[in-house]
Amino acid sequence: MNPNKPVGKPKPAKTNFFLNKVVVITGASSGIGRTLTFWYLNNGAKVVLVGRDISELDRIGKLFPSQSLVV
């Protein structure tokens, strides 16, 4: 998997359950953690990104600046 290529855009949920909820994702810079990060962000959650690749976490954080916090 190319880490610079975005994973396909996850489909938003049909409810607003995650709207303005806070979700902490470990491993957010790659793999399933990265996919889940985009899914939660696209569903209105505020996401705390935790991972080893700080440059990738910063890149994701810049896409959703008002919804994400890089740790």
pLDDT (0 to 100) of residue 71? 81
Q: How far apart are the first and last CA of the chain?
A: 24
**Are 3 and 56 spatial neighbours (Cβ–Cβ below 8 Å)?**
yes
- Does the pLDDT value for residue 11 go beyond 70? no
- What are the domain boundaries of the chain? 22-70
For residue range 30-64, list pLDDT tens digits in order.
999 999 999 999 889 999 999 999 999 999 999 99
What is the percent of the chain where pLDDT is above 90? Answer: 55
More confident residue, 69 or 3: 69
What's the mean pLDDT when you consider all of the chain?
Answer: 85
pLDDT (0 to 100) of residue 45? 93
